[in-house]
Structure 1
């Protein structure tokens, strides 16, 4: 069967694709940073819980529910932009893995509630209960991340969609893709680094050297490990896509070079315990990686689709409404976080 015959018809979009792609990159990077803090922070809390607990894990557990709420809200815009540009691909992949995809919502709710329960019942829970609860939360978050990786890679592989005719009940995953596991691990190991950096930032704000030391131990070790995982992910890509980052495409190759240099700079900043420097480089690196990810998605889909093929209706009122809502939302969230910090509940 010809894979292109399985792709739904092309659709119209209201504004030029460049606008949607730009906001997709900007909003996804924000979501990614918050997601890394939430997942990495949960791993750190779980690790310290199983090794006897610490003041770091106790305070960090109180911040995770708020961070996860921000993760969920910040994840809506990039998901909508993906669906706006790649609707015929992303909706199809979501249907193919519908059972697992819908279960991710349940898992996310369980994890969200579990973080609150873990914090507010921290003292009353027995040691075994506390460990079991945080482990359950961690498993739910890891599940959600794995399903996201499945969905975002399955949409890139129309050649795998024919499996639907043998499995039409929403139980299809992209497990036969060699790049799936390295890609997933690349995101998850990165969360350990960013989670550690978040602890170090808290230490900088509190002038607490224990926080800084603990955070940077996670940050440096995870960054070293993730450099190797990232190279493994690169090598798992189809040959023509891998070569795109190794000289075939100058922009992609330059970004890959920036990534290598940036990883070395992050390790150096972490070893020197430079909180501000490490934070700035991390934000830059996140955007570099998100742009590379976007270029890789375009390269995967190039045989079937290009955003420039979309029919633009030039109805920019929807974009203006989004921008107005975004500004109002940022102001409202900032104000609420400010009130929460004043109340001493953060």
Structure 2
């Protein structure tokens, strides 16, 4: 139990440092290639911070734990909008980009309805349904990028600069591979592997951020890649420790996925949202949450289903999917306020999530 608490502390520390590095690198890349911070938030940062959800849900599906795979996504998405957006709004106040409210929020609601509809046809998602979800994600990303390119100068510069930075790209891929497939066969205990790897990654992040002061492309790529790796490592440690504690209390796999695992895998979104809001990057904070939710529904569930069909428990249809659809539509209300999320509204969003989570746990323990 003590080891589990230590993993939680290590995970939170890694998330804080990784989120800082990710925001540094992502905003630098946005300026360099002429892509708006909003689209960077909707794509690079959103997909990167959803890497823990992807790893957890895919592994859960392959290991015969479909309730954990689905619960992870259906728990992460309300957390992203109610807490990863609500908490920064409660602290700093936020103004959600009107473009995101009009264009991307409806896509998130449509993705929720699509998952609900496809899963209802056969009590879950098969490989064909998963492929359709992934195809939807590809179409959405292509639409975003085609509509946001601003100028050909930056587009012409990038290939030459990238060709000079192949070493940085290789380093990012190696680090991401290490983070996602953290080896347990070296003879060292799992928690020790977590700690050693996160320590090494933290040192790399600090060096990359220091080198990034000169706005070099390779340093910005390293800052993004290593930041994402540290976020993944931190989430793995956090989920490992928290899940051990929760399962020890006799809570079901579905509820663990909806609560403990969902919070752990969504911690990168919360970290990135808080740091973005603190730095005045409201577009990045809001875009990250909306983009992560779309990626979770279309990419995470889609890829997991392609690799292994995922059955849905009845509670997902009667409770969690309706809740997800309602939360996905909630940001449309902010169109009436010009996109402004005041501190009291942010606080109410966080309280709404806390109330839902408390009800889930109380129902589970009461049923037991």
Please confirm whether the aligned pair reaches a TM-score higher than 0.5, indicating the same fold. Answer: no
Report the TM-score, using the length of structure 1 for normalisation.
Answer: 0.36
Report the TM-score, using the length of structure 2 for normalisation.
Answer: 0.34
Higher RCO, Cα 8 Å, sep 6+: 2
